[in-house]
Structure 1
Amino acid sequence: MNPNEVESLKSRWRGCVWAHTLSDAEGAALLPQLRFVELAAGQPIWHRGDPAEHWVGMGRGSMKLCTTSASGKPVTFMGQAFSWVGEVELIRDTPRFCDAVALSDAVIIKMPKAAFFHLLDSNPAFNRFVMLLLSERLTQSMAVTLSDRTLDPVAKVAQSLASLFSPSAFPPRSLELQVSQAELAIYCNMSRPRLNAALKQLEAEGLLELGYQVVTLRQLDALRTYAKQCDNPA
């Protein structure tokens, strides 16, 4: 990959939300261990059953955690833009339970398992951050289950899009998602016509902007609270 982008990412990674937990010495020791890997859209980050050897950050682009049901239907568990993923299998010492695939052209940052556990064991602030991240994953999973059962399509799409930008994330330079509506329909677990109608309504309300295989979120906080607004209209 472009050496200039590698240097840019190396300078930016200290801006991620957990980097403040590291001392200058810890940061200097960790940086040479990080690997920066460029991926094309659709390229795997890992496969189901692979050994868990790294904690993975999205330096650029977005990804999905996904699998295929016994009937051949694709199922997307979670999409993350600019976040860090893969800690569950590291902590449990188990193989990857699903596939991870780049949704757009991306650069991932790979932290070796040994470095992850060294920080987990020696740095209480980093340990607390990982606990917060795991709690957030659980909350997000519960929200997805709730939205499948209770929300109308527009609120469900709003919540699904907002969940792509985790509060415990690598800070994004923009809220632009380079993703097809076909991928979004799978992620939101709805048909493309229903997704398209919901996206157009959210665009009409000024919460996002649609382009060719691009969705730009204009009001992230409003998307996060959209379901509550629908339940409690003014």
Structure 2
Amino acid sequence: MLKSLISRTAKTPRAPRIRRVCVSPIIVKNRQTLTDSTITNVVVAAPTSEPIKVKIPMPVSIREGYLEVREVETEILITTIEILSPTNKRIGKGRQIYEEKRAQVLASRTNLVEIDLLRKGDPMPMMGNDIQSHYRLLVCRGDRRPYADLYAFNLPDIIPAFPLPLRSGDTEPVIDLQTLLNEVYDIYGYDLVVDYSQQPVPALSEADAAWADALLQHKGLR
């Protein structure tokens, strides 16, 4: 009985399986060893004992001023006066910063006076206005928005005087900007600083160039 049980449960040993692995032959052709003679077109800088002076670009910081009219006792901002600079009118970061500041003022009750005495560059945005002029004065009262008063004028024109907006009920002084600029020009001797033999940038139209040339000759500056 025991032998019969053993004979039934015992497993017949199997022959081990042999796996065949085929290895493809590796053929190496034209094997070469790199030497100094085979390396070409390599430039090696000779070590220097002294450093080479170089110049790197630096960030340019431009400070732009503005005027504010505030109440004496409370310091409440009544009016902001902005004189546009070339960076304000040139497409780029300077214009973006100014337009953001302009939007903040227009979103408040603060009056805005914007003076643009630059012929070059795009004027500040205004809705439904396609007036073409060399220069602009914008008087925007906080209690009358979105409407504002625009003074548009060209090179031969006298700069128009404008009222400085204050709080409702206050007496508003009239700003004669042309007279102020004439006085600053004379006090600081700009006739000795500006080279009037050079042509202005951007170039003037034929009519404006003739007007400017006649004026400068009359003043003895050309």
TM-score by length of 1: 0.31
Structure with bigger strand share is 1
Q: Tell me which structure has the larger Cα radius of gyration.
A: 2
Higher share in helix = 1
Higher relative contact order (CA 8 A, sep 6+): 1
